[in-house]
Structure 1
């Protein structure tokens, strides 16, 4: 029987979401309530890298293990999310788009493209404070649609850039939009990462692929009751080891479009 591991995926925490990012934004009070729910449920919150190490080694995870992860590296993490995590002594993993640090979220469309990003100094301070920092590429492209050479640069250069900023190894990667193929995973391995996070909106588990760890997207509509169901192993499926047929078909559709929307998350 699989031991389910809820890996929670957040993007933005603010009371004033950018137009186009509303679905991927939770209010600060909503985020605080989610964290309190984890505490009340006696959950053991771990950085994703630590969970990956258990998956890789086959050693049992602590009872009730869960992870809180963030994608992109938006500036509101430092303003709203980090204070709530820090006050509870709760670890988290933040995947940063290295090429836009100190800039705006220019891979998005419309007003959302003007969302402020964390600066290099803020990211370094967060790492010093205990936040696990992972790479989320240089410019947030759909890696599975890129030529191999460009995908390789996006993956490897983001690791190098973040390591220069942080002065420490960056060992975990998150696929932009969650999109990946076997070839993209191979590039992540070649770049020297030891784990990678996908999206999949499924439960991770003790037999999950350490280079495509499943996560559950938390949205503006996720209530404490919804979170409670996820923590009880309800509301989603365990991730399969192989990609679903619909995932492969969806990739073909995006390929045919050739100009996929940058705001597709």
Structure 2
């Protein structure tokens, strides 16, 4: 008999939904500490084309929320593409590529820094421009929905209850004012959360929340602690495909087994 843990892992690989976690899509150089979070437009275009050729269908945060609750079915081979932070270059580069492929995505926005810079990474020498209110609306018109990445991008698990609640409630208020639609999905900044933060997120009106824990999302998961599949800008294309298929970093082990319509992924 297959051990229960192994059976659960196999089910996640077979039936789970990959929620891809991107940050920056840009040609501009970045400090080495941020290189894993930057994907060039050329690489991003190839990844999107691979998803299209493999017949993946993009779904929104709301689509996935309802499906995981058993309220509606998903299309065959669903994938949820997400971006964290709200960088200007994602509007310049990622949105046109997605729109050209007929795909949607979700941008998790640091609501209190709209129109500002990535000041939470100042100590690492990373200073990137963030979309302003007009840019966020343009992003939505291109098919990329805006949801919450907190107000100022703190490590929520290290902050007191009142501050966590303020970060999450005010972020929703800002973004709902900008977009005109409900904001009920959250990506925890730095992946920082615990049971206390999770509870406050639910009390603050969020119905789904994403972590940085690796894996595909299943209906049996805690909807306020969903896993994602990290896209690393340093990876080869085979590793990207392997991550999408398995939810894990296993490119070396499956190279030669994962094939696209163009042949073996490289």
Structure-1-length-normalised TM-score: 0.84
Choose which of 18, 27, 30 in structure 2 pairs with 1:18.
Answer: 30
Tell me the SS of whatever aligns to 1:184.
Answer: helix
Structure 1 distance, partners of 2:247, 2:132, is 38
Distance in 2 between residues matched to 1:49 and 1:102, nearest whole Å: 26
Aligned residues: 237
* Structure 1 runs, 4 residues or longer, greater than 4 Å off: none
Q: 2:112 aligns with which of 99, 108, 114?
A: 99
Which residue is equivalent to 2:20?
A: 8
Q: 1:235 to 1:198 in 2, by over 3 A?
A: closer
SS in 2 for 1:137: coil
Q: Deviations over 1:206-246 (max 9, x none)?
A: 32221111101111122221122223326359xxxxxxxxx
Does 1:230 pair with 2:264? no
Which of 163, 172, 176 pairs up with 1:163? 176
Q: CA deviation at 1:204?
A: 1.7
| 1:1-265 matched pairs, under 5 angstroms | 1-2=11-12, 3-19=15-31, 20-57=33-70, 59-110=72-123, 112-233=125-246, 235=248
Secondary structure of the equivalent of 2:183?
Answer: coil
- DSSP 3-state at the match of 1:57: coil
Seen in structure 2, the aligned counterparts of structure 1 residues 8 and 234 have a Cα distance that, compared at 3 Å, is closer
1:110 Cα deviation after fit: 4.1
RMSD across aligned C-alpha pairs, in angstroms?
A: 1.7
Deviation at 1:24? 0.6
TM, length-normalised to structure 2:
0.84
- Which sections of structure 1, spanning at least 5 residues, go unmatched? 238-265
Q: Deviations over 1:66-97 (max 9, x none)?
A: 11100000111111111101111100010000
CA apart distance, 1:205 = 2.1
Q: Is the 8 A contact 1:102 1:118 kept in 2?
A: yes
* Pairwise CA distance, 1:140: 0.3
Task: Tell me, in whole angstroms, the C-alpha distance in 1 between the residues paired with 2:249 and 2:72.
Answer: 24
Q: Are the structure 2 counterparts of residues 112 and 217 from structure 1 closer, same or farther at C-alpha, using a change threshold of 3 Å? A: farther
CA distance in 1, matches of 2:198, 2:153: 16
Decide whether aligned partners of structure 1 residues 220 and 129 sit closer, same or farther in structure 2, where only a CA change above 3 A counts. Answer: closer
